[in-house]
Structure 1
Amino acid sequence: MTATFFHRFGAFVILVWLSVGLAACSGFIKGGDNRHNQPLSGGVVQGLRNMGSSPGEGMVVRIFKEESVLEVWKRTASGTYRLFKTYEICAYSGDLGPKIKEGDRQSPEGFYTVTPGLMHPKSNYYLAFNTGFPNKFDRAHGRTGSDLMVHGDCSSRGCYAMTDAGIAEIYALAREAFKGGNTSFQLQIFPFRMTAANLARHASSPHMDFWKDIKEGYDLFELTRTPPTWDVCEGQYIFNPVTSGPLNALGACPPSTPNSALVAKQQADEASLASQASAIRKAAERKAAEEEAIRQRGAAVNNFFSGIGSMFGNPGQNPNISPVITGKPATLPTPATQRP
């Protein structure tokens, strides 16, 4: 009976461990504090005022994996957004590229919409907000996952972990934006800054088509300094669509009016990407050729000295020649005076 008890207990522990590991960054509810209601510091409020904004104005959050940074942008009196502050990301899980399935410990990439219902004031990871993964695009591609957060505690299982001080300030900025009447804020998550040079460095990645898709949203924000609206059709993101309602994620995309500035930027970036990717590929080929030439020269030198050793009977240079050992002393040479 004791053995059965411990067997069942062990199985229970394993199940709990697996559920925690696969549940990303859900955490347990904890109470007893008021950390989610801590006011913004005077310095933050003054900083917003200096840039022509205020705590109640809209915000956009951008995350860049490779650079390990999170940016908070705030809407200004002009209606455009300005970068307010950049925060270091303590840790994120996985590699560059989107999250595919539950339990892959990969942090998501793409465009997400964070509403008040996705805020977690009592997260076990100090404070947190849910990214909203899987979104419409993720679901259209059968991607799965849950509880993908931006949170504190500097520990990640598929999430973006900040310092406690960092998430406290970001959380307060979001809270005040909601109080100001904003129903959501846009969360943009990229593998890196979407420049032609960075794309060229990763030109062989299997995620290139996906990255070029979300790059359009990145470019629009860079050009206009306003967050683009987004939807999904034909299995791809579509930005600033002219439509009266939600699109079918796998249906045909509606006709759109090209943004001339965006088209010009995309054409320039494509040309630069092709040129830089070609240069990187040629450099890699040259390096490989140089390394092969060095290897061949080394082999030739070794073969040369091996041949020299064989000519002079050096057994150490030719494994096919063995020394002759008779066990008899060598014959002494005859003195010169005794020679006939």
Structure 2
Amino acid sequence: MRLRHIAYALLMATALAGCNDTIDGAIDVSKVKNKVEQPLPGRIVAEMQKKNMPRNSPIMIRVFKEEGKMEIWKAKADNRFDKIADYDICAWSGKLGPKVKEGDRQAPEGFYNLTPAHLNPNSKYYLAINTGFPNRYDAVNGRSGSNLMIHGACSSSGCYSMTDAQILEIYAFARDAFRGGQSSVQLQAFPFRMTAENMARHRNSENFEFWKMLKAGYDNFEVTKRPPEVNVCEKKYVFNQQAQGSGQFSAAAACPPMSTPPALTAALASYEKEYQVAYAKAMDKLDGKLWYEPTEAERKAIVAEKRKGRDLAYAPTGTSLAAGKLVEPEEFEKLMAARLAKQTAKPGQILTASTQASAAKQGRVVLPGTAPGNRSTMSVQTAMAAPAPGAAAPTASQTARPQPDMAQATTTGSVPVPAPNPLAYAAVQQPTETEGKKPFWKFW
């Protein structure tokens, strides 16, 4: 009996040594000798084999702020992408909405291209991957910020911060994909999953029009299960479009004549039809209620227990879903008034209507009935009850849905570009159209 126990213990030790996993499935970082070359855990490699994913096939990263999730999607042998791993984001700062300027503590939202040059093996936060902010969309819209990363250490001031064990795996996914020939990994950073229910729930946000634009790219991926081709023109994102004739995409210039492949057009139309039905149901379900989005402090309060007994640098921030709530308009007004009073009032100061309106703008919310020019609760609900983004006949209050596009979004112009990295393979750069490059839908 004793020999059987010893044999079993040796077998378990061999298995753990082979995949570098701890018993609970997470890598024991303290035992990692070379973090840059650390292989993916055996459990992930086995799942890749099960899903018919070549070890060095391309990957894509998706982020959903609200629920605090980061997903890794990987190409299967048929060139469709499937989710291979997901992680709870340990810390992200600010609130839902894009990064606008240096120091606003916002984590980026949008579509970013990560190259081998964006990998930082020497980060003081264990390992890091630069998000590529600002991209062409950010730059042409005057948005600023630097050193916005996906990194370890669980502490964020505008970054997506993971635990060291998590970033070790994420870094390995990117490293292997680059070594397999992928020249650019797409990072899709969203405020939330762009479902009909979530869009309806956030219909009163001042970021709603920006999010509708991101939704076009989200929809393209949901339909094709391939990262969309991204470009920028007229200071907006466009997805999976082919420029006609000699037209070219320029971030600040008018969009050139563009076309969408018929098969993709039909698929998106079917997806949109289902979305419209779901959006109408979501509006009925909400019944006039408003979503109270929590502050970062309110999110942190939810996970205060996680910080006990840890280093001060370890600062998980929790999820908006856990700390936020749906409320009646009257309660929403009270909650926002209390927040604004706390954020803006100085000793002895009385908040006037204009002060409240200004603070509401800074707080990125539309306060019901705050000041002339601001939409009331009723007007917000009425405007957003119209057909959702992409409808055949949008109302005057809706901006036209951006036309989809085709070129990779890269950092250009005066925005600094990372220095070349030895992992960048010149031999695998994408060929030009004249060299015989086929649009992705030829394979789709």
TM-score calculated relative to the size of structure 1? 0.71
Cross-structure match for 2:236: 236
The match for 2:268 is 262
Distance 1:255 1:47, change over 3 A: same
SS of residue in 1 equivalent to 2:61: strand
Kindly indicate whether the alpha-carbon contact (under 8 Å) linking 2:223 and 2:271 is maintained by their aligned counterparts in 1: no
Matches of 2:137 and 2:277, distance apart in 1? 28
Residues 109 and 283 (structure 1), Cα distance of their counterparts in 2 relative to 1, 3 Å cut: closer
- Cα distance change on mapping 1:206 and 1:271 into 2, 3 Å: farther
Contact conserved, 1:231 with 1:246, CA < 8 A, in 2?
no
Residue number in structure 1 paired with 2:71 = 71
Corresponding residue of 1:250: 252
Assess if the C-alpha contact under 8 Å between 2:91 and 2:162 holds in 1: yes
Is the alpha carbon distance of 1:60 and 1:288 closer, same or farther for their aligned partners in structure 2, counting shifts above 3 Å? closer
| CA 1:68–1:245: 2 relative to 1, 3 Å | farther
- 2:366 is matched with none
Question: Structure 1's 271 and 210: CA in aligned 2 closer, same or farther, altered over 3 A?
Answer: farther
Q: Deviations over 1:268-323 (max 9, x none)?
A: 43454355346535356x956899xxxxxxxxxxxxxxxxxxxxxxxxxxxxxxxx
The residue that corresponds to 1:282 in the other structure is 288
Cα distance in 2 for residues equivalent to 1:40 and 1:290: 48
Q: Do the aligned partners of 1:233 and 1:251 also contact (CA within 8 Å) in 2?
A: yes
Give 3-state SS (helix, strand or coil) of 2:112's partner.
strand
Deviation at 1:50, TM superposition (A): 1.2
Q: Which runs of 4+ in 1 moved over 6 A?
A: none
Taking the TM superposition and a 5 Å limit, the aligned residue runs for 1:56-135 are: 56-135=56-135
- The farther-off stretch of 273-282 and 74-83 is 273-282
Residue identity in the other structure for 1:251: A
Q: Is contact 2:44–2:84 with CA below 8 Å preserved after alignment?
A: no
- Equivalent position amino acid for 1:177 in 2: A
Tell me if the contact between 1:120 and 1:128 (Cα under 8 Å) persists in the aligned partners.
yes
Distance 2:248 2:146 in 1: 23
Gaps of 5+ in 2: 1-32, 291-326, 333-444
Amino acid at match of 2:106: Q
The whole-number CA distance in structure 2 between the counterparts of 1:290 and 1:119 is 46
Aligned to 2:191: 191
Tell me if structure 2 keeps the 8 A contact 1:68–1:89. Answer: yes
Indicate conservation of the 8 Å contact 1:55/1:173, yes or no. no
The code of the aligned residue for 1:242 comes to: Q
Comparing 34-43 with 268-277, which one deviates more in the overlay? 268-277
Letter in 1 for 2:259: S
Q: Deviations over 1:10-44 (max 9, x none)?
A: xxxxxxxxxxxxxxxxxxxxxxx731111222322
Structure 1: how far apart are the matches of 2:152 and 2:113?
Answer: 20
Query: Which of 1 and 2 has higher RCO (CA within 8 Å, sep 6+)?
Result: 2
Matched to 1:182, the amino acid is Q
Go from structure 1 to structure 2 and tell me whether the alpha carbon gap of 1:66 and 1:43 turns closer, same or farther (over 3 Å shift).
Answer: same
For the pair shown, the structure with the greater C-alpha radius of gyration is: 1
Aligned to 1:206: 206
Please state how far the C-alpha of 1:251 moved relative to its aligned partner.
1.7
**Pairing partner for 2:279 from 253, 273, 276:** 273
**1:107-166 deviation per Cα after TM superposition (whole angstroms, max 9, x unaligned):** 000000000000000100000100000001101110000010000000000000001000
In structure 1, distance between residues paired with 2:270 and 2:67: 27
Partner amino acid, structure 2, of 1:127: L
Tell me the equivalent position of 2:48: 48
Whichever residue aligns with residue 255 of structure 1, its letter is M
| 8 A Cα contact 1:93 1:106, kept in partner | yes
**SS at 1:263 equivalent:** helix
The CA RMSD measured in Å over matched residues stands at 2.3
Aligned residues: 259
Q: Does the residue aligned with 1:35 lie in a helix, a strand or coil?
A: coil
* CA-CA distance at 1:245 after TM superposition: 7.9
Q: Which residue of 2 aligns with 1:295?
A: none
CA change 1:252–1:45 in 2 (3 A) is same
Amino acid at match of 2:269: V
